[in-house]
Structure 1
Amino acid sequence: MLKTVNHLLALIRFSHTLFALPFALMSAVMAWWLRGVLSFVDPVLYHDSYIMFGSVRIPVPSGLGNVMFHFPQPEGYSSPTVADRLSAFADAIRWQEVLGILLCMVFARSAAMAFNRLVDRKIDAGNPRTAGRHIPAGILSVTQVTTFTIVCATGFVASTLLFLPNKLPLYLSVPVLLFLCGYSLTKRFTSLAHFWLGASLAMSPIAAWIAIRGEAVMQSPLDLLPAVVLGGAVLAWVSGFDILYACQDFEFDRQAKLHSVPVRLGVPGALRLAAGCHAATVVLLAILPVVYPPLGALYYVGVAAVAGLLVYEHWLVRPDDLDRVNLAFFHVNAVISIGLLVVTCLDLLVV
């Protein structure tokens, strides 16, 4: 049994959850910070449309306006210390939300990856690079992987119950799961499959934001804007590195009549488009503080580091040298996602 579990975890490349999970947690940290910050910018009473400082009523637009905090501070008000921020942030975290985000991320990705291995098993068997995967190699049976997929899909939907009384995650769980699994079919009919994958991972920060700020999102859709911008950056980032990764299968995909950007544009053209996607990633990360002003100078240092890492990633992968694609794909991208999460936490809570 333990051996089968190990094979299933290897099948879905469980460790690669690190790519999307840090962005979901980054979005969650931003949302929790908003919840916690009200405890120290709101000495008396907070309402959805105004803040009371003693007897002074200060209008605050609902939704995104609550993020801006462009309102006068009362006389004698001092900025919170690091200890104040950390304490307020800790009080804002609901641990069932933490558990819900972790479980939803693990179950959703596991279901989608297992489904991908199921529907692509014949394609994988014909590709020398993937012929050794678990189903083509006979390590796992179709029945085992199908059962695993159903269990993970059920676990994903059940995990959204942790966010109650916020019902949005539960209502959206099945449509999200269908979209995630739909990616596995896209290579058969469109070269935009890479962008479908990017959109699938882009859901992670948006979903985390909705799970935490569901009521605010319902009252004002603009409240979702910071998560949408972050999700857009994830979409461009994932699409770019998936195009790089697909260059390894250029010859096989062309012979098998599968659709991909390398098949459509050739490897040099695909590398240029991937570079354009990653340029868009940096731009979107750079404008995130415009819609989420609490982010400051340290966050911009992190964005600059991300830009440098993406340049390094494209230096590693060249049209005549694809041997280092895995190094670019696994190591550089893991540093980008985890590093940006750490920098965001430090910027909001410490600096």
Structure 2
Amino acid sequence: MQMMYKVVHKTKMFGELVMFSHTLFSLPFAIISMVWAAGGVPSWHVMLWSLIALVAARNGANAFNRVVDLKFDAANPRTANRHMPRRLLLPREVYVFVVVNFAIFILAAGMLNPLCLGLSPAAIVLICTYSYTKRFTWLCHLYLGFTIASAPIGAWFAVTGQFAFIPFIIGTVVMLWIAGFDIIYATQDIDFDRSTGLWSIPRAFGLEGGLLISRMLHGIMVMLLLSLYFIQGLGWLYLTGIAVSVLLLAVEHRMIKPSSRRRMQLASYKLNQVISLTILLFTLADQFLLG
């Protein structure tokens, strides 16, 4: 019984380490990509192994980045209470977790098709290098978005085994969306980033400049979502979902207050989870009720 408790407790800590609930940022767009690629419901085989690949890749990448950022997390008062700075999880444990998850990711990619398998090593390199970009460029937010954009692109490849134009539009939507709210979140660390030599758009352009860039990125994101309405021949339910999401984005930008961690968590994470689910539900409703 004690051994079972330890396993459950350790599993819970790893889930918190990689912020498992944040899978809701990429998963809805990956599902949309799969549905559009299949022209309906993909096979259970593709859905199962795609989900396994997505979760394993994300877990491995987030855990790796936690190790890479350990010294910065420990020095930053905002992040000093995380698991690794508190030594609740040791680097060697996290590295084992990373290796296991990436092994599962490669296995899942191989179960899908040769294109996914062939691209899996490049995907691992891509998603593991985000933390390093903060050392030398304020474009790190866009790079983070680019890495998460690999989810819907990979989901399309999982279904078709071929390159196409549509998944890269979906991926660009995700990149701009993620980068925009990551900039919002980074406004909390302007002083820390300056003192430690880390880069971010708020550090480079100031608070107001950073928030303006965030709004611009989200504006372009909305335009791309609208372009998909015409390209995919979608209906009014999809447009309704986009309208609701735009309203939520407006609320997000209105409630920003870097001095309030609670408000920033709500604006950067909670609301964006609702946005991704809103787009998913209205897009699926459009596909299967109006399509």
TM-score (norm. length: structure 2): 0.94
Distance 1:128 1:321, change over 3 A: closer
Q: Deviations over 1:118-142 (max 9, x none)?
A: 0100110000011111111010111
Out of 110, 130, 135, the residue aligned to residue 188 of structure 1 is: 135
Cα offset, 1:101, TM superposition:
1.3
Cα offset, 1:339, TM superposition:
1.1
Which 4+ residue blocks in structure 1 deviate beyond 3 angstroms?
318-323
- TM-align CA RMSD: 1.3
C-alpha contact (below 8 Å) 1:243/1:270 kept by paired residues:
yes
What does 1:293-312 correspond to in 2, within 5 Å? 293=233, 295-312=234-251
Out of 228-237 and 311-320, give the one that drifted further: 311-320
Matched, 1:156 2:105: yes
- The match for 2:26 is 20
Residues of 1 paired with 2:258 and 2:111: CA distance? Answer: 47
Q: Deviations over 1:217-253 (max 9, x none)?
A: 3xxx5xx111111111111100000000111111111
- The match for 1:61 is none
Out of 336, 341, 344, the residue aligned to residue 275 of structure 2 is: 336
C-alpha contact (below 8 Å) 2:183/2:214 kept by paired residues:
yes
C-alpha contact (below 8 Å) 2:258/2:264 kept by paired residues:
no
Residues of 1 paired with 2:260 and 2:24: CA distance? Answer: 26
Residues of 2 paired with 1:206 and 1:137: CA distance? Answer: 36
Matched, 1:100 2:49: yes
C-alpha contact (below 8 Å) 1:236/1:278 kept by paired residues:
yes
What does 1:317-336 correspond to in 2, within 5 Å? 317-318=256-257, 324-336=263-275
Matched, 1:236 2:236: no
Q: Deviations over 1:253-280 (max 9, x none)?
A: 1111111101100111100000001001
What does 1:245-324 correspond to in 2, within 5 Å? 245-293=185-233, 295-318=234-257, 324=263
Residues of 1 paired with 2:8 and 2:261: CA distance? Answer: 36
Work out the percentage of aligned pairs sharing the same amino acid: 40
How many pairs were matched up? 284
Task: For structure 2, list consecutive stretches of 5 or more residues without a partner in the other structure.
Answer: 1-6
TM-score (norm. length: structure 1): 0.79
**Counterpart secondary structure, 1:350:** helix
- The match for 1:117 is 66
Residues of 2 paired with 1:347 and 1:229: CA distance? Answer: 19
Matched, 1:345 2:284: yes
Residues of 1 paired with 2:261 and 2:218: CA distance? Answer: 18
